[in-house]
Amino acid sequence: MTCAGPTLFLASRVTSIRGLIPSQPGEAPVLGGGDNGDVAALDQISWVVVGYAVLIALLAAFAAYRWRERPPWLDSMAWLLEGLLALRAVAGVGVLLSGREPDEVSTHVGYVIASVCIMPLALRSVQDDHGAWSLGVVAVAAVAVAAVSVRMVMTL
């Protein structure tokens, strides 16, 4: 199996999900979709990522106020966010490999790479520290991920 195998498989799943949504008002949904369907599905994942990242930032702020230390479940939530970002990145690469090109490929790919790197680096930098300031690091990383995800939507 080549490296592109799983990504193309995921991209085909994304396509089939989008195929259930009609592209024009009054038009019947067509299984299989198209380029626009792929992009719409990617956008949906990106917006879920944005909402979830903002939630993590708010919870980090609340934890800083309430407990002044980082609860273990916040790390779990952050890693779940990373999972979503990895899913978005893999599906996005699959869509790119299937022939769809953003207006600025290098910029978009840069955002995709940045999106999956930010949270692990942030968590790594505070892995031995569960103090109040480590919550600031998680919150800043979550806000950055949200901003990058918005930019991914804008550049695709």
Partner 1 sequence: MTRLEQGEAEPTTTTASRSGAHQVLLLLYALFTLAAGARSLVQLATAAGDAPVAYSLSLLAAITYALGWVAIRRASEGRTGFASRMLWVELAGVLTVGTLSLVERDWFPDASVWSDYGIGYGFVPAVLPVAGLLWLRAQDPSRSESGVVTAFRVVAFAEALSWLGLLTGMFFKYVVDAGEQGVHVFGPIHGTVFLTYLVVTALTWRAQRWPLHVAVLALAASVPPFCTALFELWAQRTGRLDARR
Dihedral sign for Cα atoms in the order 82, 97, 152, 10: negative
**Residue 140 binding partner 1, by CB under 8 A:** yes
For tokens 């008002």, name the residue.
25
Using CB under 8 A, pick the residue from 5, 22, 32, 131 that binds partner 1: 131
Binding mask 44-83 for partner 1 (x = CB under 8 A): ---------------------x------------------
Nearest to 20 by CA among 6, 34, 8: 34
The alpha carbon torsion through 84, 85, 86, 87 (nearest 10 deg) reads 50
Question: Can you give the binding site for partner 1, defined by CB under 8 A?
Answer: 65, 104, 106-107, 110, 114, 118, 121-122, 125-126, 128-129, 131, 133-134, 136-137, 140-141, 144
